Amino acid sequence: MRRRTPQVSLPDGALEAWPEDDIEAWRKAPIDTLIQHLVEVHHPMLRLTLDRAVALSVVVARGQELDPELGARLAAFAAVVHEHLQKEEDVVFPAIARGQGPMTRGPVAVMLKEHREHREALAEVHQLAQGATPAFDAPVGLALEDLQGALVELERRLWAHVRLEDEALFPRALLD
């Protein structure tokens, strides 16, 4: 039986859209514009990229010699990042947009800590995915390559996003 790789719809050009954001330009942009960019561009793309990686891990787990924790860890990681993005949208960004930056010192510290935790968790997921061995079933072997590619893309997008927040948004917000 032929397995299909899950497809996730991404907007045209989305894969190339923003990982190389110009940090210097964003440091000078109005803070509301930066927040809007994060919420309307970065967050939806991160959610789609996370969901695609989780869907691919399910396909790969069916036919690969994988550490059984891969899918569970990736799903848990995705849930944590989804929750993190929601906290930014519901609590941190609105407070910053209202000019309450200094009062967000505690929540921003939590976001920064979570960014470090995301880096460690994603490194563990990468390690588990790298331990996979391709099966003789070509479609699943292709899914493994797709998963590994999706994890690289996720890492690229996540760190571009984290960098934009850590280096452009949060320092300015805390000074306002």
Outline where the chain has alpha helix (H).
23-28, 31-37, 43-63, 69-87, 93-97, 105-130, 138-164, 170-175
Task: Using a cut of 0.85, tell me whether the model's pTM lies above it.
Answer: no
pLDDT at 144: 78
For residues 78-83, give the mean pLDDT.
Answer: 98
3 pLDDT band (50/70/90 cuts)? very low
Please give the single-letter amino acid code of residue 137.
D
Least Cα distance to 95 among 110, 80, 83 occurs for 110
pLDDT at 163: 94
Q: What is the mean pLDDT of the chain?
A: 83
| Domain range summary for the chain, segments of one domain joined by + | 30-175
Alpha carbons 166 and 64: distance in angstroms, whole number: 37
Give me the helix-helix angle, 138-164 and 105-130, nearest 10°. Answer: 160
The b-or-e profile of 113-141 (16+ CB within 10 A means b, else e) is ebbeebeebbeebbebbeebebbeeeebb
